[in-house]
């Protein structure tokens, strides 16, 4: 039981449902000129599995490569606490990646052009996950761009032929900016300096403009698409207004504020998905996404509460003055 719980913790199972919700949202959308999902049961299941396994692969690989650092700064995590061994996590991460690619391969059979676009997207996501965990997170703002792109590409797996990039645009911007704010408040290393923040914002604006250009050239910028974007835009304004309040809330430790911004930011992804479907008139899909959000939230707290008795205490960094 102790090992099984550790596996669920290292995979971040509860938060993996945010990635599934992103994929399902695009599949639920009513997009003029594009056919609906042909086999809902099979396609929704395979898309969910591909997204779930790729997300958990990324989380597992992250803990694996950070295991030496975690022994000093996060000894309560599954690897440094001894609940999971490094060889076991290596096997687990490889299995999760292969399962994600296999699910995407099966999903490719349902594509209209019979071209494995879903598999290609899954391979791109896998490569970006490896890049971020091995190198990208040490390259300042480039790492945040990589994280945003992983989330943006992920939502296309279930319906890569739709050409609808508005959801990708919002998810990319949200993850890149929210992660950067959290990272700076938590004072992680290497430090994110002001110049890095400006480079991040410029890169986000450039990539967003490029996504809009692609939609424009494909005829995707329509009145209906702009109406669909209203819901996510409202969510973005509300969330980042709250983030600004957190940034200037000097009554609480910056590290705690940074952790809260990231955690709330992940659950806010469900709000982007549900609001987009509401604006699109896909209320059945919206209900399913909200149910998935509730399941994710409950699973998160179950994992946190059941894991408290199985982890070691957090380290104390305060240095006591030597007695004379």
What are 152-208's pLDDT values in tens digits? 999 999 988 777 899 999 999 999 999 999 999 998 888 999 999 999 999 999 999
Q: Which residues contact 293 (CB under 8 A, 6 or more apart)?
A: 17, 21, 267, 270, 274
pLDDT of residue 159: 87
Query: What tokens does 112 get?
Result: 């209209």
pLDDT of residue 112: 65
pLDDT in tens, 122-154: 999 999 999 999 999 999 999 999 999 999 999
Q: Can you tell me the distance from the alpha carbon of 61 to that of 72, in angstroms, rounded to the nearest whole number? A: 18
Q: Can you tell me the distance from the alpha carbon of 106 to that of 200, in angstroms, rounded to the nearest whole number? A: 36
More confident residue, 38 or 180: 180
CB 146 within 8 A of CB 132: yes
Q: Can you tell me the distance from the alpha carbon of 245 to that of 237, in angstroms, rounded to the nearest whole number? A: 12
Q: Using the 8-state DSSP alphabet, how is residue 137 labeled?
A: G
- 309 has a pLDDT exceeding 70: no
pLDDT of residue 82: 87
pLDDT of residue 123: 97
Range of the domain at 24: 2-310
* CATH of residue 278: 1.10.357.140
319 assigned to some structural domain: no
318 assigned to some structural domain: no
Q: Using the 8-state DSSP alphabet, how is residue 165 labeled?
A: -
The candidate with the shortest Cα–Cα distance to 63, out of 46, 49, 48, 76, is 76
Q: Can you tell me the distance from the alpha carbon of 234 to that of 253, in angstroms, rounded to the nearest whole number? A: 28
Query: What is the rounded average pLDDT for all residues in the chain?
Result: 90
Query: What tokens does 28 get?
Result: 């639920």
Q: Give me the number of domains the chain comprises.
A: 1
Phi and psi at 269, nearest 5°, equal -60, -35
Q: Can you tell me the distance from the alpha carbon of 150 to that of 171, in angstroms, rounded to the nearest whole number? A: 10
278 assigned to some structural domain: yes
Q: Can you tell me the distance from the alpha carbon of 128 to that of 133, in angstroms, rounded to the nearest whole number? A: 9
320 assigned to some structural domain: no
220 assigned to some structural domain: yes
Dihedral sign, Cα of residue 113, residue 115, residue 118, residue 120: negative
pLDDT in tens, 87-97: 999 999 999 99
Query: What tokens does 238 get?
Result: 């509300």
More confident residue, 313 or 89: 89
Query: What tokens does 167 get?
Result: 């959801």
- 310 has a pLDDT exceeding 60: no
CB 158 within 8 A of CB 26: yes
Q: Using the 8-state DSSP alphabet, how is residue 310 labeled?
A: G
Task: Name the percent of the chain in helix, strand, coil, to the closest 5.
Answer: 75, 0, 25
272 assigned to some structural domain: yes
83 assigned to some structural domain: yes
């Amino acid at each position: 039981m102790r090992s099984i719980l550790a596996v669920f913790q290292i995979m971040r199972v509860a938060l993996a449902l945010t990635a599934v919700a992103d994929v399902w949202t695009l599949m639920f959308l009513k997009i003029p000129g594009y056919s609906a999902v042909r086999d809902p049961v099979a396609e929704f299941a395979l898309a969910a599995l591909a997204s779930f396994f790729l997300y958990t692969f990324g989380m597992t690989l992250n803990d694996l490569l950070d295991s030496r650092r975690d022994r000093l700064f996060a000894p309560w995590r599954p690897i440094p606490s001894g609940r999971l061994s490094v060889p076991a996590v290596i096997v687990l991460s490889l299995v999760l990646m292969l399962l994600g690619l296999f699910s995407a391969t099966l999903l490719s059979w349902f594509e209209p052009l019979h071209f494995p676009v879903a598999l290609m997207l899954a391979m791109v996501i896998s490569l970006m996950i490896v890049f971020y965990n091995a190198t990208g997170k040490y390259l300042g703002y480039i790492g945040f761009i990589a994280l945003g792109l992983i989330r943006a590409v992920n939502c296309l797996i279930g319906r890569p032929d739709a050409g609808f990039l508005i959801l990708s645009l919002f998810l990319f911007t949200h993850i890149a900016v929210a992660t950067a704010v959290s990272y700076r408040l938590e004072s992680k290393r290497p430090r994110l300096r002001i110049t890095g923040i400006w480079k991040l914002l410029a890169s986000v604006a450039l990539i967003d403009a490029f996504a809009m250009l692609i939609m424009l050239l494909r005829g995707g910028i329509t009145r209906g698409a702009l109406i669909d974007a209203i819901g996510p835009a409202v969510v973005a304004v509300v969330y980042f207004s709250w983030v600004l309040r957190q940034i200037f809330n000097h009554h609480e430790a910056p590290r705690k504020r940074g952790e809260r911004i990231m955690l709330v930011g992940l659950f806010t992804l469900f709000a982007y998905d549900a609001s987009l479907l509401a604006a699109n008139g896909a209320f059945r899909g919206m209900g399913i996404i909200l149910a998935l959000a509730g399941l994710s939230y409950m699973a998160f707290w179950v994992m946190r509460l059941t894991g408290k008795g199985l982890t070691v205490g957090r380290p104390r960094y305060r240095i006591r003055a030597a007695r004379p």
